[in-house]
Amino acid sequence: MANLSLPRYLETHRRGELAAKVSAARQALRNCRLCPRRCGVNRLAEETGRCKTGRQAMVASSDAHFGEEAPLVGRFGSGTIFFTHCSLGCCFCQNEEISHRGYGVEVSPAELASIMIALQNRGCHNVNLVTPTHVTAQILEALPLAIDQGLKVPLVYNCSGYERVSTLRLLEGVVDIYMPDFKFWDAGVGGEACDASDYREVACRALLEMHRQVGDLKLDAHGIAVSGLLVRHLVLPDDLAGSEMVLGFIAERISKDTYVNVMDQYRPCARAAEIPALARPIRSAEFRTVLAAAQKLGLRRLDPPRRVFRLI
């Protein structure tokens, strides 16, 4: 049985299995199909596909963040690393400058490892990898360097939910906490909002795989997350997200003990007005309806509301 007091990647590294994962992920960049877009470009040769990212990862910012879910924040914050660009690209992204416009700087594996260590040294309870899907290989390359420098806090994979199972399996024994969004149920909405009409099918498979790897969210004696699955769902105007269907899938196919953050902070950003229904914030009544549905479905672990502006 895994020792929950230690991050999974330490045992994987000790057994000599991390190096093989690094090698496989690096080779995958040669004909990149790490995300469901499956562009097939040679990123080792600086070709770029949908994610606009070549050989090196780009980082927009890193800091202790206090607007994350309660089990991640604790007293000293979640150590967030915001990666530039995104393989999904929602038209209403609240971080458009980062995800669409490419704000950020390239970092080498050694530099990324140093960022992880700096966050740990600040006292952050975890290293929170925000929008990591398209830089999975670069994260894996940096991880042994960070381990050699003493990294020992949980890794959080903070993603859109639009993930390939084959890539997630490279992360088995590496990621401690998966924190995906489950954004949409309807194929038409996924297609219109982010050119991903297959979003629901992809996200369903991804969440099942994440839960298989790490199970329900586990907390230490101080209420800080050490491993497991945490799912975010953003309520959209006019129920464009299909919230009750999303929450029903989580309750019935994943676990009623899934830790869920039902989020109420939608506001029109970026190109949201391209979809007329997204041109307004959600109403309080819409959020209350979704929250009531979550409770009726038996989801028992809902993130408490907080008056903190959330970047994601």
Tens digits of residue pLDDT in 255-303: 999 999 999 999 999 999 999 999 999 999 999 999 999 999 999 999 9
Confidence at 306, pLDDT banded by 50, 70, 90: low
Residues spanned by the domain of 191: 8-302
Q: Does residue 49 carry a pLDDT above 90? A: yes
Q: Does residue 198 carry a pLDDT above 70? A: yes
Q: How far is CA 80 from CA 26, 40, 122, 127, 312, in A?
A: 23, 29, 12, 6, 11
Confidence at 4, pLDDT banded by 50, 70, 90: low
CB contact at 8 A, 143 and 96: no
Q: Which of 303, 189, 165 is nearest to 243 (CA)?
A: 189
Flag whether 309 is in a domain.
no
Q: Could you give the angle at the alpha carbon of 57 between the alpha carbons of 28 and 129, nearest 5°?
A: 95
pLDDT in tens, 176-189: 999 999 999 999 99
Helix-helix angle 136-148:18-28, to 10 degrees: 150
Mean pLDDT of the chain: 95
Q: Does residue 312 carry a pLDDT above 60? A: no
Flag whether 312 is in a domain.
no
Residue 269 has a CB neighbour count (10 Å cut-off) of 15
Return the H-helix or E-strand segment holding 260: strand 259-263
Q: Does residue 164 carry a pLDDT above 80? A: yes
Residues β-bridged to residue 301: 259
Flag whether 310 is in a domain.
no
* Residue entry with tokens 């924190």: 179
Q: Which of 104, 223, 216, 228 is nearest to 157 (CA)?
A: 228
Confidence at 309, pLDDT banded by 50, 70, 90: very low
* Euclidean distance between CA atoms 173 and 2, whole angstroms: 10
Q: What's 147's domain CATH number?
A: 3.20.20.70
Residue-level pLDDT at 1: 37
Q: Hey, what are 134's tokens?
A: 């398209």
Average pLDDT estimate for 235-255: 98
Q: Does residue 2 carry a pLDDT above 60? A: no
Confidence at 5, pLDDT banded by 50, 70, 90: confident
Query: How many domains would you assign to the chain?
Result: 1
Residue-level pLDDT at 308: 43
* Residue entry with tokens 């970092």: 107
Residue 20, CA atoms < 13 Å, CB-side half-sphere: 9
Q: Which of 57, 213, 61 is nearest to 137 (CA)?
A: 57
